[in-house]
Copies of this chain bind each other. A is one copy, B any other.
Amino acid sequence: MSSRSAGRPRTSSRALIEDAAAELFLENTYGATTIDQIAQRAGVSRNTFFNYFGAKSDLLWVELDAAIDRLEVELRAVAPDAAALPALRATILAAVADIGVERVPLALTQEDVMGTREETRSSGLTRYARRADVIASFLGRQQGLPDDDLAVLAKAHAVSGAISAAWTVWARAGVRRHPLSEYVAQALDAV
């Protein structure tokens, strides 16, 4: 049904909520779907929903949010004496390495069907900003600079912007798309 159904069966509460939301958004549009409807179809309580997701729009960005979470965790594990930019590049690519050709955020593939264009733009920009914060913290830490240093912030925003571009082009490439990490590598090389 949704691309997320591919592969092994998904039975955790989180996966049930994600699959229920994807179905309902496609059936009824994003705007006409309520959190209660999603919880009901997933067979979980409203409280359980909010244990996993802060807002309905989070369900548009599941894969991207997971990648930013991985990036944040893995950047914290980089050795303090590692050169910042090569380590950043390697960690960014590792954080998207398991995102193949199927797992595309609903926000980037279904916006026309689901009527989410405005919501998508706004919630997508929030992800760009969060990723820039994560990268700025890392660069500041590695380089012994405050994370609001101009060069640190400029690099962090530039890298985050390049990654946004990669996700967008990757999603739009449709079924012929290659794994995401190829697009991210090209985008990072371009900047």
- Using CB atoms and an 8 Å cutoff, list the residues of chain A in contact with chain B: 121-122, 125-126, 128-129, 132, 148-151, 153-162, 164-166, 168-169, 172, 183, 186-188, 190-191
Contact = CB atoms under 8 A, between A and B. Distances in A.
Copies in the complex: 2
Nearest to A164: B157
B191 A155 contact: yes
Given A121-B129, A125-B129, A129-B121, A169 B157 contact: no
A121 B149 CA distance: 19
A174 to B, nearest CB: 13
A191 B154 contact: yes
A84 B159 CA distance: 20
B187 A150 contact: yes
B150 A183 contact: yes
A129 B160 CA distance: 12
18 contacts: A121-B126, A122-B122, A125-B126, A128-B128, A128-B161, A132-B161, A148-B172, A150-B165, A153-B165, A153-B168, A153-B187, A154-B165, A154-B188, A157-B158, A158-B158, A158-B161, A158-B190, A160-B161
